[in-house]
């Protein structure tokens, strides 16, 4: 009997096919280290997977928002983008810092700088002054985006399909009715050029708030808002919030042509409009 004959067949090493999890990981690794967009043939070449297998796995990843697909090919989806770390907001914070302080002094409310992370709003900065004790916000806090004026100003800058993807990919499942209500609100925000407003009587804590989007080279990157207890003079505060957001946007995109003329806020258009 040879040595090989004495080894049980079940113990012999054999080449195993990659598991489904391993194949998914192969594809995600390509996006983590490769270009922003790739076609199916490029992904097949990079992973070594059969074309039919790669296509089937990519279709599932698109459905789950890990990958997105358009005419430019496949790229990282909202889930991948949300999980990307670390995030550097230093440029945005530097652009808004001085103006956020001026906004707080000018309005007497609590001024905030926020960004969208997944389906949540993340508070980067907060300047409160004497009004600070009455507003229970805090730096590094996260709130559901659809429940805040900042979140609505941020979501209104996205395509409706992107909003749906974010809301369905988050930890809290939204019903069709919830999404329909959210889209109605976001459409009204878009009609006001991104300005979102909630009056004190519509908030359980009697907090009125106004928010406007900050726009960078690639779209909306943040939101600036003011919150006050009770009723606010929207005709006075809304243009100040809007102007602060516009100036911050120009700091991020210096030399952007025509931005001033297109971003003037009409007092009459926005007074009394509830988001």
Question: In the chain, what are the domains?
Answer: 4-83 (1.10.10.10), 90-270 (3.30.450.40)
pLDDT of residue 82: 67
List the chain pLDDT tens, one digit each, 275 residues.
444 444 444 443 445 667 888 888 889 888 877 777 899 999 999 889 999 999 999 999 988 888 989 888 998 887 777 665 557 899 999 999 999 999 999 999 999 999 998 888 999 999 998 888 889 999 989 899 999 999 999 999 999 988 988 887 755 667 778 889 999 999 999 999 999 999 988 888 889 999 999 999 889 999 999 999 988 888 899 999 999 999 999 999 876 554 443 344 443 444 444 45
Ranges of H-type helices in 108-211: 149-155, 160-169, 176-191
Q: How far apart are CA 234 and CA 267, in angstroms?
A: 8
pLDDT of residue 3: 47
Write the burial class of residue 134 (CB in 10 Å: 0-12 exposed, 13-18 middle, 19+ buried). Answer: middle
Q: In Å, what is the CA distance from 269 to each residue of 127, 188, 235?
A: 28, 12, 9
Question: Are the CB atoms for 232 and 109 separated by under 8 Å?
Answer: yes
Q: How far apart are CA 100 and CA 247, in angstroms?
A: 10
Q: How far apart are CA 211 and CA 152, in angstroms?
A: 8
pLDDT of residue 102: 96
Q: How far apart are CA 208 and CA 229, in angstroms?
A: 6
Phi, psi of 247 (to 5 degrees): -65, -40
pLDDT of residue 6: 47
pLDDT of residue 70: 87
Q: How far apart are CA 56 and CA 214, in angstroms?
A: 39
pLDDT of residue 187: 96
Q: How far apart are CA 59 and CA 66, in angstroms?
A: 10
Question: Residue 169: which residues within 8 A CB-CB, separation 6 or more?
Answer: 64, 65, 78, 79, 82, 118, 119
Quick one: how far is CA 101 from the chain centroid? 24
H or E element at residue 137: none
pLDDT of residue 231: 87
pLDDT of residue 4: 46
Q: Please name which of 87, 104, 79 lies closest in space to residue 24, comparing C-alpha atoms.
A: 79
pLDDT of residue 123: 95
Grouping H, G, I as helix, E, B as strand and the rest as coil, residue 208 is strand
pLDDT of residue 78: 74
Here the tokens at position 240 are 């100040």
Handedness of CA 143, 144, 147, 152 (dihedral sign): positive
pLDDT of residue 269: 40
The pTM score is 0.68
My answer on whether omega of the bond before 274 falls inside 30° of 0, hence cis, is no
């Amino acid at each position: 009997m040879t040595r090989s004959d004495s080894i049980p067949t079940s113990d012999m090493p054999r080449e195993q096919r990659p598991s489904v999890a391993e194949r998914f990981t192969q594809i995600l690794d390509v996006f983590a280290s490769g270009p922003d967009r790739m076609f199916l043939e490029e992904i097949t070449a990079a992973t070594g997977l059969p074309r039919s297998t790669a296509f089937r796995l990519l279709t599932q990843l698109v459905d789950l928002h890990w990958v997105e697909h358009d005419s430019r090919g496949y790229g990282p989806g909202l889930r991948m983008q949300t999980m990307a770390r670390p995030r550097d907001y230093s440029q945005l914070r530097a652009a808004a810092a001085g103006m956020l302080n001026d906004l707080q002094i000018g309005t007497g409310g609590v001024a905030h700088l926020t960004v969208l992370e997944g389906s949540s709003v993340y508070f980067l900065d907060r300047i409160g002054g004497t009004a600070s004790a009455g507003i229970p916000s805090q730096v590094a806090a996260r709130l559901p985006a659809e429940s805040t004026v900042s979140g609505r100003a941020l979501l209104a800058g996205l395509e409706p399909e992107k909003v749906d993807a974010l809301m369905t990919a988050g930890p809290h499942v939204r019903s069709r009715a919830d999404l329909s209500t959210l889209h109605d609100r976001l459409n009204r925000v878009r009609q006001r050029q991104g300005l979102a407003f909630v009056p004190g009587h519509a908030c359980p804590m009697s907090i009125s708030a106004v928010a406007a989007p900050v726009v960078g080279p690639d779209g909306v990157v943040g939101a600036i808002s003011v919150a006050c207890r009770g009723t606010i003079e929207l005709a006075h505060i809304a243009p100040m919030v809007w102007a602060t957001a516009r100036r911050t946007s120009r700091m991020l995109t210096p030399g952007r042509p025509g931005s001033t003329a297109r971003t003037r806020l009409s007092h009459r258009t926005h007074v009394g409009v509830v988001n």
